[in-house]
Amino acid sequence: MDKRGTSVRFFIIDIKVIYLPAAMLCITMVHWGWQRMLMEATGVFAAHLYDFITRTYPRFGGGRNFIFTPRFVQRFFYKHTPNVGYRGYGTAHHAPPPAESATPQGRPRATEAGESWGSWGSGRRLG
């Protein structure tokens, strides 16, 4: 788990996040019975096994990741960075990433020139 020390509110009580799956299984057992609880326990086991195989074992055990995302899924989801966001009140245009943005008239950026605001003109006072 990524956030072991944090607390979470489960219905009306605060419990540590590490005990959340067990609390959910207990509520399921009380409300729907043993068979439903065992079915949900297989899901909890599968989620923990997936986390171990894809993250914990390769990172800390020195092994390799046996489950990987296919390349076409990565291209479809991971590379998608739209520059336009359509909202109910208008259109939001996002600036391109800093590596792709061009500087006006070929001037160096302020961070490259070592100055904070000096190379961009006189400016105007607001207010």
Residue-by-residue DSSP string for 98-112: TTTPPPGGGPPPHHH
Q: Among 47-61, 89-103, 112-126, which stretch is predicted with the lowest mean pLDDT?
A: 112-126
Domain that holds residue 24: 1-78
Would the pLDDT of 101 be above 60? no
Residue 22 belongs to some domain of the structure: yes
Would the pLDDT of 103 be above 80? no
Task: In whole angstroms, give the CA distance from residue 28 to residue 25.
Answer: 5
Instruction: Report how many domains make up the chain.
Output: 1
Task: In whole angstroms, give the CA distance from residue 28 to residue 37.
Answer: 6
Residue 10 belongs to some domain of the structure: yes
Compare 108 and 78 and report the one with higher pLDDT.
78
Q: Among 14-18, 83-87, 96-100, 110-114, name the most confident range.
A: 14-18
Q: How confident is the model at residue 12 (pLDDT cuts 50, 70, 90)?
A: confident
Question: What local confidence, expressed as pLDDT, does residue 33 receive?
Answer: 92
Residue 64 belongs to some domain of the structure: yes
Which tens digits make up the pLDDT trace of 69-99?
A: 888 887 777 655 566 666 677 766 666 666 6
Question: What local confidence, expressed as pLDDT, does residue 85 receive?
Answer: 67
Q: Which two tokens stand for residue 93?
A: 């245009």
Residue 48 belongs to some domain of the structure: yes
Residue 65 belongs to some domain of the structure: yes
Instruction: Give the Å distances, CA to CA, from 106 to 97, 101, 115.
Output: 18, 11, 16
Residue 53 belongs to some domain of the structure: yes
Residue 6 belongs to some domain of the structure: yes
Average of pLDDT values for 35-46?
94
Would the pLDDT of 120 be above 80? no
